[in-house]
Amino acid sequence: MSKRDYYEVLGVARNASDDELKKAYRRCAMKHHPDRNPGDKAAEAAFKECKEAYEVLSDATKRRAYDAHGHAAFEHGMGGGAGGGQGYADMGDIFGDIFGNIFGGGGARGPRRGADIGYVMELDLEEAVAGAEKRIEVPTLAPCEPCKGSGSADGKIETCATCHGRGQVRMQRGIFTMQQPCPHCGGRGQTIANPCTACHGAGRVEEEKVLKVKIPAGVDSGDRIRLAGEGEAGPPGTPPGDLFVEVRVRPHEIFERDGDDLHCEVPIRISQAALGDTIRVPTLDGEVELRIPAETQTGKLFRLREKGVRSVRSRHPGDLYCKAVVETPVNLTNEQRELLEKFEATFVGEGARRHSPKSSTFLDGVKGFWDRMVS
């Protein structure tokens, strides 16, 4: 029977990221795991199918081979380990083992460490600026408690009789000697006669790990914090992976962040813009006074030095840029309306042009445009 497309098995697009692949695999594995479906042969087959798909697509070299040749990439010795057994571990092993043996290099590779985990943490701007301590829950693979991560129910672990503890077996292909992970022990170099019933010999179980993460002051979206050894537990005898916490700062109602600088809009009244005034504006350290000069126009930027974010790297604070926005008054009283009408009546004739430089420039531009259109 022909195999299903690996992307279809995991339910992801062909351009899926590593994180998307991992999440899809976890969903599939947890749904069809034999422990959750005892005696269900269909679930067991589906579990093996999603495991096989993830083993290929999570390996960059195997994935390129699969994208180029499909399942044929792992038939007749072309590539590795999709089904385990007679193929190579991956396409890179073909060249690595050939040239390693020719020139005396060591092509053998033991069990890998545990996988790294990615976690996205959302922060308010205030938390990112000041730093924080957060409690997170991370789904992961942890060492099995009953067997202490050994995978053995009685603690007895024997040297693999097939590879004699090396974790690799040699294959002769013509004049070349090649190596691949031992099919009997899976590259561990050891076998377990009495597997632990809790983890079925894997030495690892799924659990939710609770951690406290200290966020340094000044982080920004895209910054990553590495927690060494807090990733997935590795196979027995191997170290765990790492946890990488990626920061994402939520949009703020007042400030917009640009690196270490902050930007905000400051509304001012027509009278303040025309006559000038001193107003109070917010900063990360509290309110400060900002002098608005007379005849200020909408869009004018005021720079407040070192009132931005103190960088997590250089520790030098950025600046705060305040953009003046002249606000049109609403809900006018009769008195206010009369005053504005009298004020507007003073803008008559050519004398009005010198009071409204932008309007004059705009009108001159419109006149020039129409002159060019009719000429």
Q: Nearest 5°: CA angle at 173, between 172 and 176?
A: 85
Report, at the CATH architecture level, how domain 1-87 is classified: Orthogonal Bundle (1.10)
How confident is the model at residue 216, as a pLDDT? Answer: 94
- The two tokens of residue 12 are 């992801």
How far apart, in whole angstroms, are the C-alpha atoms of residue 148 and residue 92?
34
Query: Residue 326 pLDDT > 60, yes or no?
Result: yes
How confident is the model at residue 215, as a pLDDT? Answer: 94
Least confident of 56-70, 150-164, 349-363: 349-363
CA distances for 141 relative to 45, 73, 243, 346, angstroms: 22, 30, 12, 78
At 34, is the pLDDT very low, low, confident or very high (cuts 50, 70, 90)? confident
How far apart, in whole angstroms, are the C-alpha atoms of residue 1 and residue 13?
24
Instruction: Identify which of 301, 302, 220 has the alpha carbon closest to the alpha carbon of residue 257.
Output: 220
Fold observed for domain 255-328: HSP40/DNAj peptide-binding domain (2.60.260)
**How does pLDDT run across 136-174, given as a tens digit for each residue?**
999 888 888 888 888 888 888 888 888 888 888 887 666
Question: Please, which residues have CB within 8 angstroms of residue 10's CB and are 6 or more apart in sequence?
Answer: 16, 21, 24, 25, 28, 50, 53, 54, 57
Q: Domain limits of the chain?
A: 1-87, 255-328, 330-375
Q: Contact, 10 vs 54, CB < 8 A?
A: yes
How confident is the model at residue 103, as a pLDDT? Answer: 35
Query: Residue 262 pLDDT > 60, yes or no?
Result: yes
How far apart, in whole angstroms, are the C-alpha atoms of residue 143 and residue 296?
66
Query: Residue 292 pLDDT > 80, yes or no?
Result: yes
End-to-end C-alpha distance for the chain, whole angstroms: 78
Least confident of 144-153, 262-271, 326-335: 144-153
User: Who has greater pLDDT, 234 or 105?
Assistant: 234
**How does pLDDT run across 47-56, given as a tens digit for each residue?**
889 999 999 9
Q: Contact, 235 vs 203, CB < 8 A?
A: yes
Q: Which residues of 353-362 are buried (b: 16+ CB within 10 A; e: fewer)?
A: eeeeeeeeee
Given its phi and psi angles, is residue 76 left (phi above 0), alpha (psi -120 to 50 degrees) or beta? Answer: left
How confident is the model at residue 186, as a pLDDT? Answer: 72
**How does pLDDT run across 217-228, given as a tens digit for each residue?**
999 999 999 999
- List alpha helices for 200-297, DSSP H: 270-275
How far apart, in whole angstroms, are the C-alpha atoms of residue 350 and residue 176?
95
Q: Are strands 243-249 and 117-123 parallel, antiparallel or unpaired?
A: parallel
Indicate whether this model's pTM tops 0.95.
no
Query: Residue 185 pLDDT > 90, yes or no?
Result: no
At 350, is the pLDDT very low, low, confident or very high (cuts 50, 70, 90)? low
How confident is the model at residue 328, as a pLDDT? Answer: 93
Q: Contact, 247 vs 222, CB < 8 A?
A: yes
- The two tokens of residue 120 are 């996205």
Q: Contact, 207 vs 200, CB < 8 A?
A: no
Instruction: Identify which of 1, 33, 26, 2 has the alpha carbon closest to the alpha carbon of residue 12.
Output: 26
How confident is the model at residue 81, as a pLDDT? Answer: 45
pLDDT mean over 188-201? 84
**How does pLDDT run across 225-238, given as a tens digit for each residue?**
999 999 988 877 78
pLDDT mean over 7-20? 89
Tell me the chain's radius of gyration from C-alpha atoms: 34
User: Who has greater pLDDT, 80 or 29?
Assistant: 29
Percentage, residues of the chain above pLDDT 70 = 81
Q: In which residue are the tokens 């690799």 written?
A: 168
Q: Which of 17-26, 112-121, 162-171, 259-268 ranks highest by mean pLDDT?
A: 259-268
DSSP state of 195: B
DSSP H or E segment with residue 119: strand 117-123
Q: Contact, 206 vs 30, CB < 8 A?
A: yes
How confident is the model at residue 96, as a pLDDT? Answer: 35
pLDDT mean over 335-350? 86
How confident is the model at residue 61, as a pLDDT? Answer: 85
Q: Are strands 320-327 and 261-269 parallel, antiparallel or unpaired?
A: parallel
Q: Which residues of 21-30 are buried (b: 16+ CB within 10 A; e: fewer)?
A: bbbbbbebbe
How confident is the model at residue 188, as a pLDDT? Answer: 75
